[in-house]
Structure 1
């Protein structure tokens, strides 16, 4: 089966680089499957797992926003952060989820900025927990 080069880049490091057969991402308009020969495009990403298929192996990476750029010869994901399941500290992710839930429960809905930040923190924590759990 044919492949394409996938690079996942964060502000800190190159999180992934390798040949893959298929990539699934969640863009702002829904899930997007990318195969070799996909038309060039750029779309923003939601906080969601990125699913990579290579041979018999499927792996997930927790991506917290960013963009995917599909080029003729490769796909580049520019992400705010990206963590493979084995890199995720489950206790830290669960603590972040609990903090965000407490902030949302006690939030003053008038303070929209704090409320939105708490919602994003909760989405990111849940994404990390789901990716970690899917690897077990």
Structure 2
């Protein structure tokens, strides 16, 4: 038995496939989804979604959004998403280093919030591209 997965960003469909297992970051922590999961609607945090198709895992960096599952149909609506295979590892590391420096040097509430979001995005991209299974 499988799940039908669809990941959509505002300007494109990022991913459409069947999957045996999905792990993603919700606002309350990581959740795992298997076939015949109870209906669920949850907010997603910035983080990495892991998808198992047959015995192969694939990572996708998600930039926040919502996930709904019902009747083995999972729809994920995100602000933006990138498959790990589309991310340049060197660029992801450089972006992470820059975001970390900016976060550590942030002054004031607004700058700290903006730097934290940039750091979380860069961290998700780096974790996706470096995912080992």
**Segments of 4+ in structure 1 off by > 6 A?**
none
Unaligned runs of 5+ in 1: none
Alignment of 1:117-136 (within 5 A): 117-134=114-131
Q: TM-score, normalised by structure 1?
A: 0.89
Aligned residue-pair number: 133
User: Considering only aligned residues, what root-mean-square deviation do their CA atoms show, in Å?
Assistant: 1.6
Contact kept? 1:85, 1:135, Cα under 8 Å: no
The residue aligned with 1:34 is 33
Is residue 85 of structure 1 aligned with residue 112 of structure 2? no
CA–CA distance in structure 1, aligned partners of residues 72 and 100 of structure 2: 42
CA–CA distance in structure 2, aligned partners of residues 104 and 56 of structure 1: 38
The residue aligned with 1:11 is 10
The residue aligned with 1:76 is 75
CA–CA distance in structure 2, aligned partners of residues 61 and 98 of structure 1: 20
Unaligned runs of 5+ in 2: none
CA distances 1:59-100 after superposition (whole Å, capped 9, x unpaired): 111111111111224001111111111100223322322322
